[in-house]
Amino acid sequence: MRRTSAAAVATLTAAALALSACGRDNGGGAGSSETAKDISSGKATGTLTVWAMGNEGDILPDLMKDFEAANPGVKVNVTAIPWDSAHDKFTTAITAGTTPDAAMVGSTWMGEFAGLDALDPVPPSIDTSAYFEGAQKTNEVNGTNYGVPWYVETRLIFYRTDLAKKAGVTEAPKDWEGLKSMAKAMQDKAGAKFGMGFQAGGQGSWQSIMPFAWSDGAKLTKDDGKAYNFDSPEMLEAVKYYQSYFTDGISDKAAPAQPTTEPDFKSGRVPMFISGPWMMSAVEKVGVKKDQYDVMPVPAKTTSSSFVGGSNFAVFKKSKNRDSAWKLVQWLSDPKVQAKWYGMSTDLPSVKSAWDDPALSGDPKLKKFGTALETAQAPPSFPTWEQAVAGFDTEMEKVTKQGADPAAALKSAQQQAESVGTGQ
Amino acid sequence: MSSTTEVTPSGATGRGSSPRGKGGDTRPASNPGAGASRRRQGLAAWTLALPFCLLFLVFTAWPVIQSLFMSFTDTRSRDLRTPFAVDIVGLDNFTKAFSDPIFRKSMLNTAYFVVVGVPLTMAMALAAAVALDKGITKLRGLFRLGFYTPVITSIVAVAVVWRFLLERDYGLINTVLGWVGIDGPNWLGDPNWAMPGLILMASWRNFGTGMIIFLAGLQAVPWMLHEAAAIDGAGAWQRFRHITLPLLRPTLLFVSVTTAIGYLQFFEEPFVMTNGGPLNSTISMSMYTYKQFGFGNYGLASAMSYIIFVIVAIVTAIQFRLLRENT
């Protein structure tokens, strides 16, 4: 009995202590901009731990051999992490203070990790204007750069040239109306079941819708980049346009949850869709010949623009070998290394001058991706972006599948985003 | 107080010999020697139990307490490093969860899944068990294995196969429906049919567990009762209804409780098949909670977890009440 009460007192005391320590510490923290100190000159030394996800994690060790050869005395240990568990692994490591020296970081995670005070600001000797502007922007949190783009991707419209000819279209359309009539002609004259393979809302559909909104000059933030902006008139125009494909039966309202884009493209059932550069090898694998299809930029309402994605490279504050880690990032941004990495991974270079390499400039389809990257845009680097856009994706599903009013849907998306807040 | 190293071995011996010494033990604690020995035994018992208690406290009790604490705070993923430097918001997370239209939708979806799925799974399990018990005499082992295989097959493999089965144009289910002149629905693409599709798949996947338990229960039904009833002129259905089912009551309770607990937390089916769509028609409470964890809203997600926990407890209590022995 005595023991029990003693234990109870101890528990209560511990709980009281824990509770009295509660409450947010409101001073300082993320939000103010940081200035970075520069890195030392000379070669990289010591041991570096690097994390990378997916396919990049598997083949990065091969590239690191070149880095080690160029910098005798450095040893790079690459840890490959599956994409599914990567985000959790990073947040756990940041909490426990066991982050790697440098890592590949998903472009939508920058705001969150920088908010956790985990990333080291980019030193001044790295020239951030060498990268595509849209991709570089994903590294900027509250006016400070916390990383550099490593590789990029953007979305273009894929179409079957042979079927387009049958439909009487010989030149890629330049405006929204032209694109829609081309998709309609594919249905009417070239035997397509659906003219355009737009995603009918749902997760990730913003990546198909935003290129149109951006091509109309839409901005996703307002109030000096301090708030979400989903219900601008430009967004409304883009969403109405996107919806018209579904109401006119040009796109499939009831597409299966698992898209069958490649076989549908091959059979001509759906001869147009919007996607990224990896689809080139994917459609060629199912038997679409290189001269049977082409890509075109997103037609402009005002100026053509698309979505830029990809991954960044960042150095962590906890790194014991910071200077060498930045030297690695600098080396990875070298145009020659970027071109070589394209050859190994088919990841598109984030450094503009790397596109002069014949492997890239010699391919007319790739060149169009390169051109699109110059104007492509990325979503804001708010830590809550994924959650805010999930509401937008759900609303878009109502717009495409149930014919919901676009204005009301955008209003609801905006309300949801505002209740989530930017998280900064 | 003597040191622990000294007490442990002697205490351990004392504990081991206690059943034998029980007869001679003087119950009243007036004897000071007996009191000391009991204290020693108590200490020894605690020492032996200590490793388990520590593990339990650190790895089971603590996470539960912390998640409960989290559900009353505004914890977000960025607070992980300083888990106590958060504001206590009282019941805000719970009101927020209940006022979230998607969470309410997920509650309805879960209810739909349980109300249709549990009886369907149990009916299939019981039918299969009766067939294996009485009907199928040849290749019984093979059938038993066949019915149980879905339970032990990975959901990922099952999902791939079922996506083919439920395909709109050339899926097996719609092909068979086509033979009898029914134009099958676009199962996973239609908000009205996605949930029935998932229920079908979940029942198929889970009825094996219930079947095994029912089979054991059926074999415990005394044959004499059936014989006596048959002599009195009871038909097969009457005997099943009035002898087998009442005797199976404890088994039915067990299967319905375990199935309902599993189905209330259903997650994998929509996660691998539909990702909650179309139009959130298959998003479950567990899955929406998981999404909130993914967004970093740890406080809100913890509150949702506790809502699920309370619902599971209530549903289980109701089942115990409905299926208890009539005395």
pLDDT tens for B57-82 read 999 999 999 999 999 998 887 777 77
Strands A144-145 and A102-106: unpaired
Q: What is the pLDDT of residue A20?
A: 52
Strands A348-349 and A272-275: unpaired
Q: What are the two backbone dihedrals, phi and then psi, of residue A419, each rounded to the nearest 5 degrees?
A: -70, -30
pLDDT of residue A252 exceeding 50, the answer is yes
Q: What percent of chain A has pLDDT over 90?
A: 67
Residue B13 has pLDDT above 70, yes or no: no
pLDDT attached to residue A27: 43
The complex scores an ipTM of 0.72
In our burial notation (b when 16+ CB lie closer than 10 A, e otherwise), range B123-162 reads: ebbbebbbebbeeeeeeeeeebeebbebeeeebeebbeeb
pLDDT, tens digit (0-9, with 9 covering 90-100), for A264-291 = 999 999 999 999 998 998 999 999 999 9
Q: A397 to chain B: which residues are within 8 Å by CB? A: 277-279
Q: Specify the pLDDT at position B12.
A: 42
Please tell me the pTM assigned to this model: 0.77
Q: What is the DSSP pairing of strand A148-154 with strand A308-315?
A: antiparallel
Band of the pLDDT at A10, cuts 50, 70, 90? low
> Which of A16-25, A81-90, A306-315, B204-213 has the lowest average pLDDT?
A16-25
Flag whether pLDDT at B33 surpasses 90: no
Contact status of A204 with chain B (Cβ, < 8 Å):
no
How near does any CA of chain A get to the CA of B197, in Å? 13
Tell me the shortest Cα–Cα distance from A118 to chain B, in angstroms: 10
Could you tell me the pLDDT band of residue A14, with boundaries at 50, 70 and 90? low
pLDDT of residue B76: 83
Across A389-410, average pLDDT: 92
pLDDT band at A6 (very low <50, low <70, confident <90, very high): low
Query: What confidence category does residue B135 fall into, taking pLDDT thresholds of 50, 70 and 90?
Result: confident
Of A95, A258, A387, the CB nearest to B81: A95
Burial class of A316 by CB neighbour count within 10 A (0 to 12, 13 to 18, 19+)? buried
How many cross-chain Cβ pairs, A to B, lie less than 8 Å apart? 83
Grade residue A23 by pLDDT with cuts at 50, 70 and 90. low
C-alpha distances out from residue A68 to A44, A77, A100, B325, Å: 9, 11, 18, 75
Domain boundaries, chain A: 46-153+309-375, 156-306+382-420
β A46-53/A227-228 pair status: unpaired
Instruction: Give CA torsion, residues A204, A220, A120, A52, to 10 deg.
Output: 20
- pLDDT at residue number A130: 93
- The yes-or-no verdict on residue A400 having pLDDT over 60 is yes
Minimum-distance CB partner of A254 among B76, B82, B189: B189
What value does the mean pLDDT of chain B take?
85
What lies within 8 Å, CB to CB, of A61 at 6+ separation is A76, A78
- Domain assignments of chain B as residue spans, ordered by start: 4-70, 94-322
> What is the pLDDT at residue B133?
85
- d(CA A26, CA A24) in angstroms, rounded, equals 6
Identity of the amino acid at B32: P
Measure the CA–CA gap between A188 and A186, rounded to whole angstroms. Answer: 6
End-to-end CA distance of chain B: give it in Å, rounded: 54
Nearest-angstrom CA–CA distance, A380 and A395? 19
Nearest chain B residue to A86, by CA: B294
User: Where does the pLDDT of residue A311 fall: very low under 50, low under 70, confident under 90, or very high at 90 and above?
Assistant: very high
Residue of A305, A309, A329 lying closest to A319 (CA atoms): A329
Instruction: List helix spans (H) across A98-151.
Output: 110-115, 133-137
Residue among B85, B191, B277 minimizing CB distance to A23: B85
CB within 8 Å: B296 and A112: yes
Q: Does A362 touch chain B (CB under 8 A)?
A: no
Dist. CA A211–CA A157, nearest whole Å = 10
Task: Band the pLDDT of B209: cuts 50, 70, 90.
Answer: very high
pLDDT band at B198 (very low <50, low <70, confident <90, very high): very high
Write down the pLDDT at residue B325: 67
- The pLDDT confidence band at residue B30, using thresholds 50, 70 and 90, is low
Distance set, CA B60 to CA B54, B57, B323 (Å): 10, 6, 31
- For B150-163, the DSSP string reads HHHS-HHHHHHHHH
| Mean pLDDT, rounded, for A361-383 | 91
Tens of pLDDT along B228-286? 999 998 888 898 999 999 999 999 999 999 999 999 999 998 988 888 878 889 999 99
Interchain CB distance below 8 Å, B274 and A94: no
Classify domain A156-306+382-420 by CATH number. Answer: 3.40.190.10
A169-196 pLDDT, tens per residue?
Answer: 989 999 999 999 999 999 999 999 999 9
What pLDDT digit, counting tens, does each position of B137-173 carry? 778 888 888 899 999 988 888 988 898 888 887 789 9
User: Residue A215: is its pLDDT beyond 90?
Assistant: yes
User: Measuring CA to CA, which residue among A222, A209, A214, A230 is closest to residue A377?
Assistant: A214
Provide the pLDDT for residue A21.
Answer: 52
Flag whether pLDDT at B36 surpasses 90. no
Report percent pLDDT > 70 for chain B.
89
Q: CB neighbours of B262 closer than 8 A, spacing ≥ 6?
A: B206
Angle, CA of B199, B201 and B202, to the nearest 5° = 65
Q: Which CATH number fits domain A46-153+309-375: 3.10.20.740, 3.40.630.30, 3.40.190.10, 3.30.70.100?
A: 3.40.190.10
Token digits of residue B172: 């097996």
As a whole number of angstroms, the distance between CA A234 and CA A30 comes to 32
Is pLDDT at B5 greater than 80 in this prediction?
A: no
A151 versus A142: which is more confidently predicted?
A: A151
> Can you give the pLDDT at residue A26?
52
CATH 1.10.3720.10 applies to domain B94-322:
yes
